[in-house]
Amino acid sequence: MNLRHKTWWGMLALWAGLALVGCSVDDNKESGTTNVPSVNEIYQEGVAKLKHSDVNGAIRYFSLIVENTRPGTPQRPMAQVYLGQIALLAGNSKIAIEKFRAALDEDPTLIPAWQALGNAYFAEKNLTGAIEVWEPLIKQNPNRISIHNNLGVAYMDLGKLDKAIEHLEKSVTLNPDNARTLNNLAQAYRRKGMEDAASVAERKLKSLRERMTQPAQTAAH
């Protein structure tokens, strides 16, 4: 990921304004000061930056919330999650885990933070830690396709092939057109010695990839 420094005059002005006022973002909002954006406005700007792949801009906005608002501010936990996701995508799982745990300290019910924490543990090859995070999420909502896939891969890497197949089959049942999960399931079948089942999964995967690469048919006029 390219994390090169960029300059945004708007952000520089925002930082300068906060330094001049000398108080937190939510203090300005409560006092009725209008020259500083609200916390929600800053949060939405951070989300917009991410949508436009402006990583550094997103980091600045989300960091602004974390560093200048009080615990209990509704946007703080998700700002921490976004900062953790950015760190994880940049390959810094330790920072990511710190951010996700900080989010969960403020809101222990925040599902995206739990799911992301499992991803970070998985990135660190802490498969047991990842499973311990993901399993309760599946019990809360058995239809989480991506978590079933992730659990399947984690169990497969630990050599627990029955559990791996159980979760991967569930993921494929929920979404038969997921090439990644089909591939993982075929691998799990192979490792288990279930050659016929592996061949079936591989044929489905091949057919799916062929459909995905076929040009769209144009309607006759």
pLDDT range class, residue 214, cuts 50, 70, 90: confident
- For 183-186, the CB contacts below 8 A with 24+ separation are 184/149, 184/152, 184/153, 184/156, 185/152
Distance CA 75, CA 47 (A): 11
Closest CA to 136 of 146, 125, 147, 124: 147
Q: What is the pLDDT of residues 31-56, one digit of tens each?
A: 455 567 899 999 999 999 999 999 99
Q: How far apart are CA 41 and CA 46, in angstroms?
A: 9
pLDDT in tens, 135-157: 999 999 999 999 999 999 999 99
Tell me if residue 51 falls in helix, strand or coil. Answer: helix
Confidence of residue 215 (pLDDT cuts 50, 70, 90): low
Domains of the chain: 7-106 (1.25.40.10), 125-207 (1.25.40.10)
Nearest to 36 by CA among 20, 19, 57, 14: 14
Condensed to tens digits (0 to 9), the pLDDT of residues 100-140 reads 999 999 999 999 999 999 999 999 999 999 999 999 999 99
